[in-house]
Amino acid sequence: MTIVRCLLLMFAVVALGVASVGAQDVVKLGQIEAQTGPNAIYGWMSSQGTALAVDEVNKAGGFSVGGKAYKLQLIALDTRGEPKEATVQLKRLIEIDKVKYVFGPFLSNVFLAVRPYAVEFNGKILMWGGATRIHDYIGTPDHDFLMRTWNWDTGPNGFGELMVDQLVKAGVKKIALLYQNDQGGKVMEDIYVAMFKKKGIEARLDYFEPGTKDFSTVLAKIATWKPDYLFPGYADSYIYDIVRQATEAGQLKKFFLVRGSLGPGLKNKDALDEYVVYVPKYFEEAEKKDPKVQKFIASYKAFYKRDFPYDQAPLCSSSCYDHVYMLVEAMKKAGTVDDPAAVKKQLMSMTYDGLWKIRFDEKGEAVFNFDVVRLRKGGAIEVTTVNPK
Amino acid sequence: MKLGTTLFVLLAALPLAVRSDFVLTIFIFTFIYGILAVTFDLIFGFTGQLTMFHPAVFGVSAYATHLLVVHAGLPFWLATLPSAAGAVLLAVVVGSICFKFRLKTFYFAVVTLAFAEMIRLIVLNWNSVTNGTLGLVVSGRPTFWWPGAGWVAVRGPVAWYYVTLVALAVTVLVCVRVLRSWMGRCFAAIRLNEDLARTLGVDVFRYKLLSFAVGSALASFAGGLYGYYTGYIDPGYLGINQSMEILAMVLLGGQGTLAGPIVGSLILTGLPHVIDLRGELRAMLYGAILIFAILVMPRGIVGSLVAWRARRAA
Amino acid sequence: MTQLVLGQVLNGAIIGAMYGIIALGITLTFGITGIVNFALGEFMMIGAYATYALAERAHLPYAVAVVPACFISAAAGYLSNKAFFRFTRNNLVNGLLVSIGLISIFESAALLLWTATPLEMSYVLPGAIRLGDVGLPKMKLVVFGVIVVVIVGTYVALARTWLGRAAFAYAQNPEAAQLMGVHTPRLETAVMLYSTGLAGLGGALYASLYSLEPAMGGVYVLKGMEAAILGGIGSLMGSLWGGVILGIIEAVGSIFLPTAFRDAYGLAVLVAILLFRPSGLFGSE
């Protein structure tokens, strides 16, 4: 009996809490990301940055649109990376919370599950996330509600081709790809195997199971092929171990990455020869020169009272801090908070200069500046910032 | 039976009173998982075999149903039949191996788990057929015949609610028939004391296999329904955590009963959405509830209720 | 090719030893107290994170940090037993459910405290020993050595001492053991403490080799269970052999057959063993 009472009490407290927020006019932002679970890397930073931005906006007094004052309310739900969870959560956000602006998802399997439901609200909501699979749907009929908030690898402003061209210039002949056997890995395969072939570099692909910690066997197999570079998967949780084990075994010492952070390279800097990585922003460097970045870091530390996660921060390039501010600006320009289609129109024509310089291409996919970081043995770092046109 | 019919009528009337898509969705998932839980209980609670093979049946039939619809042009309901047959075939093969070798509870669980994992790995890597980790996007809809309107597609939460409710009801009815028959009596005998049952002339191997096959056949329908409802099938359907969820539902609700698994399914499906806490705190509460439930009510909610009523009557 | 195979046999043996120490925990708990502690992976995780905290945050040298980390895991094990596990003796299903609940709780707690970001400790003993083309990290050899010593030590301690005989008497017949003067609740607590402490040690050693995540325990408890069954539940040395054999099968299997099916190789062998020799390779039924 006590547990029922406890549950009821908790429910009442929460309901009271939620009700009391509605005092001022509020624009609700929904978020479906994996805050916990094995793929939390692709949702955690987004949830951190969004919450911070919402808090800042509200502390500054909110914003006004069409003469009325508004505050933001963020309803961030943890999908745990599970499509089933996310479907119910999205229904709850749209139906019960009457949310019109949805941040996320970053995970493709979650996106695929919620898409059929979201389509039924085409025109009534705006959903923008970083999921790679969103690329297949933006700009298609019935998907006007959809935008993608991450850079795309190929295409005129793509970073992938730029990175591969660097390898070509360096005279690379053989590259070994080692990807996670899941959505992200398969999409990477589609993009990069074709690209390497086009550019005349011989590529070999091996997959590993999610959850693998010991890569000795597959690395040993790859080493017998004697590639020039190793191109490991996309989640830091694996790259740390791959780079460490590869350099320890001593045969694979050059690394090329288009996902993941610089962290693994730094950790193993004395054992490797070279580590080249695409990073939305190399925060350690940016902090020195960019006042906006400094402000962000300071705000983060004050708000969360913990160290700034430098290696995860680049993931705030998708549906995160900047995007809250972009949305507010778009609502102001559109003169309405209730019309997602009008707001989207404004977003599509904006260039926002925040932590990143963000604009959207004609289909609704983000284009923003990024860094290419080259780390050499011993720790020498060379950062090249690329500003897409 | 009376209780069951009353419950069915109440549930059937629910969408008339409750308009919320959100609540209906929770019930839809409850019903689909309810099918899995009830059929699992048939094998576990009634026959005493702790099987970890259910997710394999669930996942394989989801894929099979969709592939048959897309490549063989079968309508949904027709496609579920060969899928069920395929699931039963798998179950019979695995079951035969396990039961032939007379594996005891714990080892039976481990071997069924091992087989389920191996099948999952095959599904995960057989890209040409299953599209591997990318999964399959299901855009079709089951259709049924409605007087006056002809063949109508199942669309919207209310329609899905009724479809899944009926599916669950049919599953429960079949289980009731099976359990009340000579099969059910043999299952009970095996559960209570396998060796004794054997000496009494019960063909233990045959009945264990029957229980396993029937449970798997019925569970396979859940696979097709779930795939079409969520619109997306991926190898995660065959994962170990599905086994854990089903087990938790059955134990929480009450093993050895038919209502128990459904109650368990409702609670565990709805709970995460009622508790409005941060992700991690919610998961901790979930774990605490599970532990609390099993230690305080080892017979599960329905089981404890039944026992309490029996004590009062005495 | 032979170098590759030889290298992977060695590597597989080392990884297998890690499975073995968890397997030992499982076999001791299940064999002596009849409790199924499926949450043993979580105690491994506690040991790993505790080592990380002590070594990285409190700046203790690694070898010094390992000891308190094991005690912390053991303490968590003690509490879990006192509150929950001891009520699930000989009840497989209840034990399983309690384990599932605990896994949820511990993993979420770790997420709250540490977040999902993988944490890497500073390298304890970097560098590798080279055998021709094969490089075997020094730390892995140390880990292997420690595990072997611990498992053999446990075996000797239990096989040759009064405590050990008491433990097995208890496993056979608790009432009789009690009548013979074995203090049974204390024995049960001791087994829980030791097995979770072992898991903690496994975690501490794991931390020196790989990055840490809250979900790390899940794989190890499954592999540990496989190894324990392979070697034979109740057989102490069997847990080490089971682990090593499992590790080697997985590693060597992955050379010739696709790596994607690595888990399946061990599973297939496990199924075969269970069908034809359910008591495992070294167990006695």
* Tens-digit pLDDT profile for residues C138-164: 999 999 999 999 999 998 888 778 777
Looking at the partner chain, which of A78, A85, A92 has a beta carbon nearest the beta carbon of B22? Answer: A92
Return the half-sphere exposure (C-beta side, CA atoms, 13 A cut-off) of residue A241.
27
Q: Given this model, what pLDDT does residue B148 score?
A: 73
Looking at the partner chain, which of A78, A113, A186 has a beta carbon nearest the beta carbon of B230? Answer: A113
Determine the distance in angstroms separating the CA of C97 from the nearest CA of chain B, rounded to an integer: 7
User: How far is B227 from C252, CA to CA, in rounded Å?
Assistant: 37
User: How far is C162 from C154, CA to CA, in rounded Å?
Assistant: 13
Q: Given this model, what pLDDT does residue A95 score?
A: 87
The verdict on A78 touching B (C-beta cutoff 8 Å) is yes
User: How far is B127 from B122, CA to CA, in rounded Å?
Assistant: 9
> Burial, A255: exposed, middle or buried (Cβ in 10 Å; 0-12, 13-18, 19+)?
buried
CB–CB contact A96 B20 (8 Å): yes
Q: Given this model, what pLDDT does residue B278 score?
A: 66
Q: Are C18 and C47 in contact (CB under 8 A)?
A: no
Looking at the partner chain, which of C115, C126, C260 has a beta carbon nearest the beta carbon of A207? Answer: C260
Look at residues B24, B47, B2, B78 and name the one whose alpha carbon lies nearest to residue B229: B24
Task: Please name the residue of chain B whose CA is at the shortest distance from the CA of residue C266.
Answer: B114
Cα dihedral sign, B1-B3-B6-B8: negative
The verdict on A212 touching B (C-beta cutoff 8 Å) is no
Within 10 angstroms of residue B267's Cβ, the number of other Cβ atoms is 18
Length of chain B: 314
The four Cα atoms B71, B75, B81, B87 give a dihedral, to 10 degrees, of 40
Give the residue ranges of DSSP H helices in B153-239.
157-180, 182-192, 194-199, 204-230
Which tokens is A184 given? Answer: 């992200």
Cβ-Cβ contacts under 8 Å, B125 against chain C: 258, 260-261
Looking at the partner chain, which of C12, C118, C259 has a beta carbon nearest the beta carbon of A240? Answer: C118
Residues 113-142, chain B, touching A (beta carbon < 8 A): 124-125, 132-135, 137, 139
User: How far is C124 from C284, CA to CA, in rounded Å?
Assistant: 40
Q: Which residues contact C31 (CB under 8 A, 6 or more apart)?
A: C171, C233, C234
Q: Which residues contact B123 (CB under 8 A, 6 or more apart)?
A: B59, B60, B63, B130, B235, B238
The verdict on B273 touching A (C-beta cutoff 8 Å) is yes
Which tokens is A249 given? Answer: 């075994």
User: How far is C51 from B32, CA to CA, in rounded Å?
Assistant: 44
- Answer left, alpha or beta for residue C59, where phi above 0 means left and psi between -120 and 50 means alpha: left
Q: Which residues pair with A68 in a beta bridge?
A: A65
Which tokens is A40 given? Answer: 């939390």
Is the pLDDT at A201 greater than 60? The verdict is: yes
CB–CB contact B279 A116 (8 Å): no
What amino acid is encoded at A181 in this protein?
N
> Burial, B2: exposed, middle or buried (Cβ in 10 Å; 0-12, 13-18, 19+)?
exposed
Summary mean pLDDT of chain A: 88
**B interface test, pick of C88, C100, C221, C262 with most B CB neighbours within 10 Å:** C100
Is the pLDDT at B4 greater than 80? The verdict is: no
Task: Please name the residue of chain A whose CA is at the shortest distance from the CA of residue C130.
Answer: A249
User: How far is C30 from C36, CA to CA, in rounded Å?
Assistant: 6
The verdict on C87 touching B (C-beta cutoff 8 Å) is yes
CA distance between the termini of chain B: 22
Which tokens is A222 given? Answer: 């790859």
Cβ-Cβ contacts under 8 Å, A92 against chain B: 22, 273
Place of tokens 């705030």: A316
**B interface test, pick of A1, A31, A181 with most B CB neighbours within 10 Å:** A181
Q: Given this model, what pLDDT does residue A295 score?
A: 95
The verdict on C216 touching A (C-beta cutoff 8 Å) is yes
User: How far is A341 from A144, CA to CA, in rounded Å?
Assistant: 8
Looking at the partner chain, which of B97, B124, B291 has a beta carbon nearest the beta carbon of C102? Answer: B291
Determine the distance in angstroms separating the CA of A78 from the nearest CA of chain B, rounded to an integer: 5
Cβ-Cβ contacts under 8 Å, C108 against chain A: 36
- Calculate mean pLDDT across residues A224-237: 88
Task: Please name the residue of chain B whose CA is at the shortest distance from the CA of residue C258.
Answer: B125
Q: Are B67 and B126 in contact (CB under 8 A)?
A: no
Look at residues B49, B59, B42 and name the one whose alpha carbon lies nearest to residue B260: B42
Which tokens is A363 given? Answer: 């289909």
- Count Cβ–Cβ pairs < 8 Å, chain B vs chain C: 107
- Calculate mean pLDDT across residues A142-158: 87
- Reduced to 3 states, what is the DSSP secondary structure of residue A276? strand
Q: Given this model, what pLDDT does residue A113 score?
A: 83
Q: Which long-range contacts (CB under 8 A, 24 or more apart) does B287-290 make?
A: B287/C100, B287/C101, B287/C102, B287/C103, B287/C104, B287/C105, B287/C108, B288/C101, B288/C105, B289/A3, B289/C101, B290/B248, B290/B252, B290/C97, B290/C98, B290/C100, B290/C101, B290/C104
When pLDDT is cut at 50, 70 and 90, the band that residue C74 belongs to is very high
Determine the distance in angstroms separating the CA of A91 from the nearest CA of chain B, rounded to an integer: 6
Q: Given this model, what pLDDT does residue A20 score?
A: 46
CB–CB contact B284 C105 (8 Å): yes
Q: Given this model, what pLDDT does residue C232 score?
A: 87
Q: Which element (helix H / strand E) includes A84?
A: helix A83-91
CB–CB contact B22 A85 (8 Å): no
Looking at the partner chain, which of A209, A224, A250 has a beta carbon nearest the beta carbon of C263? Answer: A209
CB–CB contact C134 A241 (8 Å): no
CB–CB contact C255 A217 (8 Å): yes
Q: pTM of the predicted model, to two decimals?
A: 0.82
Within 10 angstroms of residue A170's Cβ, the number of other Cβ atoms is 12
Length of chain C: 285
Q: Given this model, what pLDDT does residue A3 score?
A: 55
pLDDT in tens, B94-130: 999 888 888 888 888 889 999 999 999 899 888 888 8
Looking at the partner chain, which of B240, B280, B290 has a beta carbon nearest the beta carbon of C101? Answer: B290
Cα dihedral sign, A151-A152-A158-A160: positive
The verdict on C172 touching B (C-beta cutoff 8 Å) is no
Which tokens is C151 given? Answer: 């498992």
pLDDT in tens, B186-222: 898 888 888 888 888 888 888 999 999 999 999 999 9
Q: Given this model, what pLDDT does residue A184 score?
A: 74
- Reduced to 3 states, what is the DSSP secondary structure of residue A126? strand
Residue of C285 and A320 predicted with greater confidence:
A320
Is the pLDDT at A23 greater than 70? The verdict is: no
Is the pLDDT at A13 greater than 60? The verdict is: no
Q: Are B32 and B169 in contact (CB under 8 A)?
A: no
